Amino acid sequence: MYAEIIIPLALPKNYTWMIPASMEEEIAIGMRVEVMLGANKRYAGIVKNISSKAPEAFTPKPILSVLDDAPIVYEHQLALWQWMAEYYMCTEGEVMQAAIPSHLKISSESVFVLNEQQEQDIKNLSDAEYIISEALEIKKTLSLLEIQKLLDKKSVYPVINKLIQKGICYVQENMKDKYSSKVEIFLSLHAQYKNEAALEKLLNEWTRAPKQLDLLLAFLHYEKTEGSVQQKSILEKASATHAQLKALIDKGILVPEKRKIDRLANDISTGNSSIHSLSKKQENALITLKEQLNTKPVGLLHGITGSGKTQIYVALINEVIKENKQALYMLPEIALTAQMIRRLKQYFGGSIAIYHSKFNPNERVEIWNKVKSGEIKIVLGARSALFLPYKNLSLIVIDEEHDPSYKQQEPAPRYQARDTAIYYANQLKAKVVLGSATPSVETYFNAISKKFGYTYLDERFSKGALPKIELVDTKKQPAGTAILTPQLLASISKTIANNKQVILFQNRRGYAPYLICETCGWIPHCEHCDVTLTYHKAKNLLSCHYCGASYPIVNTCKACGKQNFKQKSFGTEQIEEKLNQSLPGVIVARMDLDNVKGKNEHDQLIQKFEQKQIDILVGTQMVVKGLDFENVDLVGIVDADSLLNFNHYRVNERAFQMMEQVSGRAGRRNDNGTVIIQVSQLQHPIIQFVQQHDYFGFYKFEIQNRKHFSYPPFSRLMSLLFKHKENNIAEEAANHFLQTLTPEIQKTVLGPAQPIVNRVRNKYIWELAIKISKQPQELQLAKKQLLHYIRLLQVHPRYKSVNIIIDIDPN
């Protein structure tokens, strides 16, 4: 017997290995097996197919071992991977890389790290496992090669797999992954003092060390009220030190004990809030949506900001879990999951879990298994949550469906998670609900073409009006007030005086997007990219927002030698500074990539803002999205021109969505919402539509442009990037490639052209943009041809070092 196996690499096809007779019984599709590639590379691959037909061209090598007792993925997942690889023109190995948590991936490049939190129980280890765990104790990390040497065996993955399962080591995916403890220390009273009289005597005769006594009393209190006492939390609650605790332990009064805690344990509480009853309009929308989903695979819930779309999703999800099926709730950004999970936990308690790529690998494996068994019913997550092994998925909610973050940019698979979810749901006979206040042009087009169901919610739940929009002409401001115009400042002061909060949006971080020499016009650029350097004042450096390189501040012009630099334009850091200067005593916080790192910091800031410890939140896109704050009355869009001025067919759509979404954060519970837009192009059609909150006007305007230029949804776009260290080679490769295409396809190609940023990380970029018909057959044919010519280019002596990036349905 032979097995086709997916290994997590970008190989052009899957290879076949031989199944040794001894393994025939234990192997099944969806299990991981250990295989050798080339002379000594080992991978844990996934069995995709089993057949009795031997490959014709060569004799396959045997599979070395079977790693799982049961499949880790369902066959419907493997079918999804295959579709993604075909549609997005990447490999199944790349999809596998994205799809499964690192702990389920083992390869020759893996590094295994001792889990220091775990106490080892030697009795439970086999000889081989014992040898490795001993070596880990000493060296802390081991490479696969080192493990192979230690064991001197042909097959080592089963041993490693067991060690991971037993929690003795973990796979390091990258240096940043920090393992968070699974073991916590709990305290208990020494048996001797469980006797009341003995305890009484101890307390009565206590003379010195009052702090220790305080700690002991606090301990007794919490033990009584909470059952168990965690060392960490009692130290915090009693404001005691480790030394004081140690003294109590040394005296034999308290006993520490390591205990395992289920990482998901906090989640396994039951939801206690009953689901809100819906307003009449919500009720109607729900009924329409459900009716449409009887006949259509996808329904669009178009509801203005604050209309209570979440409440409708909750009602739908509730029906799904009553039938004991699973639901997936997708959000575009990891950052949004934290606020949403707090809302959803109220209803669904422990049957809901969050899943995304920033979770540590152990947690991800736990969730993986619980979704596979069906124990977890609802998953809230970003893109990657689509890849969990659902046992019986029946509903996918895609909230903020218009959001560009649903598209993965780097690395492959460059997939659009919304579109992929729609495909997948179709395969599974599950239903999809897309929700947005500003649906993407494609989605709304599908809705009015009756391909999708459509429901419109035109009223805020609070019945309040949408915020009123004031335009401030930046051309007519006194010098030096372009950032915070007098109107904006006055509104901010008034809002804060009313005890309300403010959000200011500016889509650029840093202090100033560039510096310019006033004498000769020279602008500092990144050495590796064709991009101006952003000035960061607090960090006192210049930074490239494309490759992350940073540089010391330049004072002397490299072109003319003068010291005459001026800062141009402004970013969030400068707005924050200006606010602090203009409004002393007001508490300002900034939310952008520079000062919010990781899901926790983001969530902490959100919570502080929710709790009104912050008056003004200044931020980039991060503040735009789906958050629900009840106390925000004023939103300022500080520089709307920057949203309108770039060269992309989606510029209007993005600008409208961004402004409408950020406006939607204002006045969500009352009638007093105000949005101030600072802009110089007051007559710009998009500004007009935003001012009227007129999605339909915007759509009519935009769909005409799209049709005229035959952009999506009237065609499919595909972008091919040719990257090379040398500009002329990249350009030639793009031209050469173009020449190889058939005349029919050539006609549909734009370019080659250089993108606006034409060099990143020392590679020059040339782009071909291809508009293909949406006819599935034509599309497939075109893709096939393109792939063929790409393969030819990849072996062409002059161009084989050119890096070709294929992006289907690019953002």
The site partner of 306 among Zn ion, ligand ADP, none (C-beta below 5 to 8 Å per kind) is: ligand ADP
Task: Mention every residue, 6+ apart, whose C-beta is less than 8 A from residue 414.
Answer: 88, 90, 407, 408, 806, 807, 808, 810
DSSP, residue by residue, 80-144: HHHHHHHHTT--HHHHHHHHS-GGG--BTT-EEEE-TTPPP-GGG--HHHHHHHHHHHHHSEEEH
Which part of the chain contacts ligand ADP (CB under 6 A), choosing from 276-284, 517-525, 638-646, 681-689?
A: 276-284
Closest CB to Zn ion among residues 519, 582: 519
Which 3-state string (H, E, C) describes 308-332? CHHHHHHHHHHHHHHCCCEEEEECC
Query: Do the Cβ atoms of 299 and 292 come closer than 8 Å?
Result: yes
Which part of the chain contacts ligand ADP (CB under 6 A), choosing from 84-92, 226-234, 274-282, 709-717?
A: 274-282
Minimum CB–partner distance for residue 69 and Zn ion (Å) = 48
CA distance 402 to 330: 12
Report helix, strand or coil for 160. helix
Minimum CB–partner distance for residue 506 and ligand ADP (Å) = 22
As given in the structure block, the two tokens for residue 532 are 């101006």
Contact track, ligand ADP, 613-632, x by CB under 6 A: ---------------x----
Query: Do the Cβ atoms of 634 and 472 come closer than 8 Å?
Result: no
CA distance 102 to 171: 7
Closest CB to ligand ADP among residues 346, 740: 346
Of the residues 45, 158, 308, 510, which one makes contact with ligand ADP according to CB under 6 A:
308
Site size with ligand ADP, rule: CB under 6 A: 15
Minimum CB–partner distance for residue 410 and Zn ion (Å) = 15
Minimum CB–partner distance for residue 631 and ligand ADP (Å) = 11
CA distance 151 to 142: 12
Q: Is 282 in the site for ligand ADP (CB under 6 A)?
A: yes
CA distance 144 to 782: 42
Query: What DSSP character marks residue 9?
Result: S
Contact track, ligand ADP, 455-494, x by CB under 6 A: ------x---------------------------------
Q: Is 303 in the site for ligand ADP (CB under 6 A)?
A: yes
As given in the structure block, the two tokens for residue 333 are 């950004």
DSSP, residue by residue, 251-318: TTSEEEEEEE--TTGGG-S---SPPPPPPHHHHHHHHHHHHHHHH-SEEEEEE-TTS-HHHHHHHHHH
Which part of the chain contacts ligand ADP (CB under 6 A), choosing from 242-250, 298-306, 511-519, 530-538?
A: 298-306
Q: Is 534 in the site for ligand ADP (CB under 6 A)?
A: no
The site partner of 528 among Zn ion, ligand ADP, none (C-beta below 5 to 8 Å per kind) is: Zn ion
Minimum CB–partner distance for residue 585 and Zn ion (Å) = 39
Query: What DSSP character marks residue 679?
Result: E
Of the residues 118, 244, 279, 455, which one makes contact with ligand ADP according to CB under 6 A:
279
Closest CB to Zn ion among residues 252, 561: 561
Closest CB to Zn ion among residues 554, 589: 554
The site partner of 309 among Zn ion, ligand ADP, none (C-beta below 5 to 8 Å per kind) is: ligand ADP
Which part of the chain contacts ligand ADP (CB under 6 A), choosing from 58-66, 302-310, 496-504, 693-701?
A: 302-310
Minimum CB–partner distance for residue 769 and Zn ion (Å) = 24
Contact track, ligand ADP, 647-686, x by CB under 6 A: ---------------------x------------------
Closest CB to ligand ADP among residues 304, 533: 304
Closest CB to ligand ADP among residues 630, 744: 630
Query: Do the Cβ atoms of 546 and 526 come closer than 8 Å?
Result: yes
The site partner of 77 among ligand ADP, Zn ion, none (C-beta below 5 to 8 Å per kind) is: none
Q: Is 310 in the site for ligand ADP (CB under 6 A)?
A: yes
CA-CA distances (angstroms) from residue 630 to 340, 610, 664? 14, 8, 11
Closest CB to ligand ADP among residues 170, 461: 461
Report helix, strand or coil for 492. helix
Q: Is 339 in the site for ligand ADP (CB under 6 A)?
A: no
Q: Which residues bind Zn ion (CB under 5 A)?
A: 517, 519-520, 522, 526, 528-529, 544, 546-547, 549, 557, 559-560
Minimum CB–partner distance for residue 435 and ligand ADP (Å) = 7
CA distance 532 to 756: 12
Query: Do the Cβ atoms of 396 and 326 come closer than 8 Å?
Result: no
Minimum CB–partner distance for residue 621 and ligand ADP (Å) = 17
Cα pseudo-dihedral 243, 248, 254, 255, rounded to 10: 50
| Identity of residue 717 | L
Q: Is 276 in the site for ligand ADP (CB under 6 A)?
A: yes
Q: Is 306 in the site for ligand ADP (CB under 6 A)?
A: yes
Q: Is 87 in the site for ligand ADP (CB under 6 A)?
A: no
Closest CB to ligand ADP among residues 67, 344: 344
Q: Is 506 in the site for ligand ADP (CB under 6 A)?
A: no
Task: Mention every residue, 6+ apart, whose C-beta is less than 8 A from residue 496.
Answer: 502, 583, 586, 615, 616
Find the helix or strand (DSSP H, E) in which 232 lies. Answer: helix 231-237
Q: Is 313 exposed, middle or buried, given 0-12, 13-18 or 19+ CB atoms closer than 10 A?
A: buried
Q: Is 344 in the site for ligand ADP (CB under 6 A)?
A: no
Closest CB to ligand ADP among residues 313, 445: 313
Query: Do the Cβ atoms of 557 and 520 come closer than 8 Å?
Result: yes
CA distance 78 to 96: 9
Closest CB to ligand ADP among residues 343, 725: 343
Q: Is 337 in the site for ligand ADP (CB under 6 A)?
A: no
Minimum CB–partner distance for residue 694 and ligand ADP (Å) = 18
Closest CB to ligand ADP among residues 128, 336: 336
Task: Mention every residue, 6+ apart, whose C-beta is less than 8 A from residue 199.
Answer: 189, 193
Binding site for ligand ADP (CB under 6 A): 276, 278-279, 282, 303, 305-311, 461, 628, 668
